[in-house]
Amino acid sequence: MKDVLDQVRAWQAEEAELGRAVVVRTFGSAPRQVGASLVVTADGRLAGSVSGGCVEGAAVDEIQRARADGVSRVIRYGISDEQALDVGLACGGTIDVLVEPLLRPEVVEAAAGSGGVAVIIPLPADAPGPARGPHATGRGEAPAASLTVAADGTLSDTTGSPDADAAVAQAARDFLARGGSGTVEVAGRQYFIEGFAATPRLVIVGAVQVAMPLVRMARELGYATVVTDGRAAFATKERFPDADTLVVGWPDEVAEEIGLGPSDAVAVLTHDVKFDDPAIAAALRRGCRYVGAIGSRRTQAERRARLLAAGVGEADLARLRGPIGLDLGGRAPAETALAIMAEIVAERYGGTGAPLRTLART
């Protein structure tokens, strides 16, 4: 939704009537992710995509149909290879698309905000379920009121059941933690949870050569970046023009200053015991979701022994990724940065880091 927000704002300024289609579930090699949106005005202008082009025409027609009868529907678009030239997905995937006669204002508000909010949309009772296979388009129903889950976990309204409230709120928090959206079933009702995660942050300890391309890559991937070093000559705007925040100081002091916390990824690159150990201990103690440190296997073993002696627990040390990064084979600073960023992204989405050709896909 964020990718069409500017156009949506412009149309809203014109007081245009807007409808929306949004991908709520995918099977196989779908061309767009869950949450991909297509917004259409009453006079046929459109922004966004739910399929990369192959079902856009049909989705536009369904949005206009929804506007005419005031009904929301979930439509399953899926094809065989033989049907690829007809309306469908040329990649052979299947998508479930929620089509609504309106663009919910709470979705626009969440997309325009700073993140950490999920919008929970009850799906029509006749929406297809999680089992893959053909599903006739149902009659749908009038759009049900949505709920939101704020960054602090607060649910804006109730589903009518305390148990269901707790379940959908927890599911929303889980999606926000992973940075995604999805559909869940709670108490016999399906809900589409559209997550608008807070901007992920990468904290780099050590303003070294590898940190320079790492900042650029992280920025390109949508991460806010913090670079910290105890040496003022290294942590400069000239060396790191793309960093969002530069901090000169000791790791324990910096952790408090920047509010280091569970949603942060931390890359420790100084290769200096007096910076590395306190930074790693602080990141593990504060529950940062990713903590990696540069250094050889011998260096890692010595580091773990020191941290254990300093009171860091075995369970916390098991979360330390060292040597940092995936094995890509490169050794140049940019190649090392790529390996680090690849591991951070894999951790965020639960990826294996294995070649896609070796993974069975259905």
Long-range contacts of 8-15 (CB under 8 A, 24+ apart): 8/39, 8/47, 8/103, 8/108, 9/112, 11/39, 11/41, 11/45, 12/108
State residue 127's pLDDT score.
97
Instruction: Give the pLDDT score at 83.
Output: 41
Query: What does CATH list as the number for 201-349?
Result: 3.40.50.720
24, 33 contact by CB (below 8 A): no
Q: Which two tokens stand for residue 272?
A: 């200096």
Q: At what angle do helices 5-13 and 105-112 cross, to 10 degrees?
A: 130
Residue 75 pairs in a beta bridge with 97
- What stretches of 197-241 adopt beta strand conformation (E)? 201-205, 224-229
Beta bridge partners of 226: 203, 245
Give the list of residues 6+ apart from residue 173 with CB closer than 8 angstroms, or none: 118, 149, 153
Sorted by where each begins, the domain ranges of the chain are 2-196, 201-349
Within 10 angstroms of residue 314's Cβ, the number of other Cβ atoms is: 8
Q: Could you give the residue ranges of the DSSP H alpha helices within the chain?
A: 5-13, 56-69, 105-112, 162-178, 211-220, 251-258, 273-285, 297-309, 314-317, 333-349
Q: How far is CA 340 from the centre of its chain?
A: 18
Other beta carbons within 10 angstroms of residue 199's beta carbon come to 13
Sign of CA dihedral 121, 124, 126, 128: negative
Instruction: Return per-residue pLDDT of the chain as tens, 362 residues.
Output: 999 999 999 999 999 999 999 999 999 878 889 999 999 999 999 999 998 777 899 999 999 999 999 999 999 998 544 443 444 455 568 999 999 999 999 999 999 988 889 999 999 999 999 998 889 999 999 999 999 998 677 899 999 899 999 999 999 988 887 778 999 999 999 999 999 988 889 999 999 999 999 999 999 998 999 999 999 999 999 999 999 999 999 888 899 999 999 889 999 999 899 999 999 999 999 999 999 999 998 999 999 999 999 999 999 999 999 999 999 999 999 999 999 999 999 998 889 999 988 876 54
Helix (H), strand (E) at residue 320: strand 320-321
Predicted pLDDT of residue 361: 54
